[in-house]
A and B are shown apart, each in its own frame.
With several copies, the nearest count.
Chain A
Amino acid sequence: MSGINRNQMAWRAAQDIEDGMIVNLGMGLPVLAGDYVPDGRDVFIHAENGVIGCGPLATPEAADTDLVDAGSRRITLRPGASIVDSTASFAMIRGGHIDVTVLGAFQVAANGDLANWDMRLPEKGPLVGGAMDLAACARAVWVIMEHTTRKGEPRLLQACTLPLTAVRCVTRIFTDLAVIDVIDAGFLVREIAPGITQEELQAKSGAPLHFAADCRTIAAPELAESV
């Protein structure tokens, strides 16, 4: 039971990014989703450090120390991009001006609670960054994550056990096994990876799953897993 690969997960999330949206992408898989936004959809990617309209990564020759995203990556600007300071950038986030944020996560609860910032690493200091602002205030909060931990423990839970990022915020989850909405009744499976049964999915989840009447198979193209 393998599910879809990480590039396919990013691809699948990207399909739901709508034309004209302002989108904030967390590090890792969410940023990768940015590369798979379908052609013809005009999207502004926001970075917490104030860039409104991130373009592709800069080539080594074009790289500029001052033109970076929140992950310190040297980027370019898309046409129509602008840049504001941190106060204005977070005013924009908190004020509900980000249409969707796509975040990584450790755990999501059936009521939409999100835990994505603190794994309780005993040796490391805490790092919250803009995660709480984005999770609490973006109009839609989507998560991309593996359906279970490496040890096989479920990440979809009745209640999160790790420290929360924000309460009742997640609206959609893209995993290697399914696409799941969070609704009042809990987890609603919309799509399921090829070859996975509903029973198998439930067995890998820590809270009851509802299945949409029109629940279908995730239709992702073949995409080689990046190294």
Chain B
Amino acid sequence: MPIDKRVAAAAAAMDGVRDGAVVLISGFGGAGFPNVLIRALCERGLRDLTLVVNSATHRYSVTHELIEAGQVRKVVCSAARGHAKGLSAFEERWKKGEIELECLPQGSFAEKIRAGGAGIPAFYTPVGFGTELAAGKETRRFGDRDYVLETAITGDLALIRADRADRYGNLAFRYAQANFGPAMATAARLSVAEVRIIEDAPLAQPDIQLAGAFIDRVVAVGDMP
């Protein structure tokens, strides 16, 4: 049967996602937020989700909707501070002890996800050594420098945004849209991409930035709102 990863609606792309899922969500610097998929996930009304997302709250992302709806148990991120004057939905719940937080240096965040998708259970990095973000983590000296042991992150679901896709799930990104998306797609059991457009013909080989092998479902959602 010809491979066809196209799904007509974002809701259907969430089939099979359950309470307690670890959800990897792309987006950074204002680009690459899979907002249509995040809303579709929100509408499933799940509980106890763990979000692995660079910013717990970002003004171009709608992760706060999952948080406000009380669906999130834990956030793993490098930025847990809202842009607004007051407390963000995340900060409010975190302060009350309702949401657990794991804050990571952004490069370790990215590399842990890459490791998860690349079969590397753990690696050493110089980043964070001697800081409170490395508190309790194993350290080791190689040569004349100290390093922190970081372990892989994997997830149940990855939600990412790209520009173009084909039926095979191959993806092309625009400019800085890729950010954490490619790594996240490799590290989750179920990887879903929202894209501006799904082309009828297969993407040309040099245009493919993430192989469809890593994508399970793809939904065309048009331009960012």
User: Interface residues, chain A, CB within 8 Å of chain B?
Assistant: 19-20, 22, 40-42, 44, 46-52, 64-72, 74, 77, 79-87, 89-97, 113, 123-133, 136-137, 163-167
B57 CB to closest chain A CB (Å) equals 8
| Bound CA–CA A89/B111 (angstroms) | 10
Question: Which B residues lie within 8 Å of A79 (CB)?
Answer: 168, 202
| Bound CA–CA A154/B8 (angstroms) | 54
A66 touches B174 (CB 8 A): yes
Interface CB pairs A-B, < 8 A, 27: A19-B1, A42-B2, A48-B106, A50-B176, A65-B31, A80-B170, A81-B202, A81-B205, A83-B175, A89-B110, A90-B110, A91-B111, A91-B186, A92-B213, A94-B120, A94-B126, A123-B87, A123-B95, A124-B82, A126-B81, A128-B103, A129-B106, A132-B128, A133-B107, A136-B129, A166-B127, A167-B129
Question: Which A residues lie within 8 Å of B167 (CB)?
Answer: 80
Partner of B106, one of A69, A72, A133: A133
Question: Which A residues lie within 8 Å of B3 (CB)?
Answer: 20, 42, 44, 80
Given A67-B175, A70-B29, A129-B106: A137 and B168 interface contact (C-beta under 8 Å): no
B31 touches A133 (CB 8 A): no
Question: Which B residues lie within 8 Å of A92 (CB)?
Answer: 118, 186, 211, 213
B54 CB to closest chain A CB (Å) equals 8
Question: Which B residues lie within 8 Å of A67 (CB)?
Answer: 31, 174-176
Interface code B176-187, partner A: CB below 8 Å = 1, 0 otherwise? 111111110011
**Does B91 sit within 8 A of A, measured CB to CB?**
yes
Most buried by B among A44, A86, A89, A96: A86
| Bound CA–CA A123/B86 (angstroms) | 9
Given A51-B176, A167-B130: A124 and B81 interface contact (C-beta under 8 Å): yes
Question: Which A residues lie within 8 Å of B181 (CB)?
Answer: 85
B1 touches A94 (CB 8 A): no
Partner of A65, one of B116, B133, B208, B224: B224
A123 touches B1 (CB 8 A): no
Given A80-B166, A94-B119, A163-B131: A65 and B213 interface contact (C-beta under 8 Å): no
Given A94-B120, A166-B131: A133 and B105 interface contact (C-beta under 8 Å): yes
A24 CB to closest chain B CB (Å) equals 11
Given A72-B60, A82-B212: A94 and B127 interface contact (C-beta under 8 Å): yes
A80 CB to closest chain B CB (Å) equals 4
Question: Which B residues lie within 8 Å of A123 (CB)?
Answer: 87, 91, 95
Question: Which B residues lie within 8 Å of A96 (CB)?
Answer: 119
A116 CB to closest chain B CB (Å) equals 11
B window 69-107: CB within 8 A of A? 78-82, 87-88, 90-91, 94-95, 101, 103-107
Partner of B101, one of A85, A125, A130, A166: A125
4 A-B pairs closest in CB distance: A94-B119, A90-B107, A125-B80, A91-B118
B window 36-90: CB within 8 A of A? 54, 56, 58-60, 78-82, 87-88, 90
**Does B30 sit within 8 A of A, measured CB to CB?**
yes
**Does B114 sit within 8 A of A, measured CB to CB?**
yes
Partner of A125, one of B90, B104, B118, B133: B90
B30 touches A68 (CB 8 A): yes
Question: Which B residues lie within 8 Å of A42 (CB)?
Answer: 1-3
**Does B34 sit within 8 A of A, measured CB to CB?**
no
Question: Which A residues lie within 8 Å of B15 (CB)?
Answer: none
B192 CB to closest chain A CB (Å) equals 16
Task: Give the nearest-CB partner of A137 in chain B.
Answer: B119
| Bound CA–CA A48/B56 (angstroms) | 18
Task: Give the nearest-CB partner of B181 in chain A.
Answer: A85
Partner of B114, one of A83, A87, A130, A136: A87
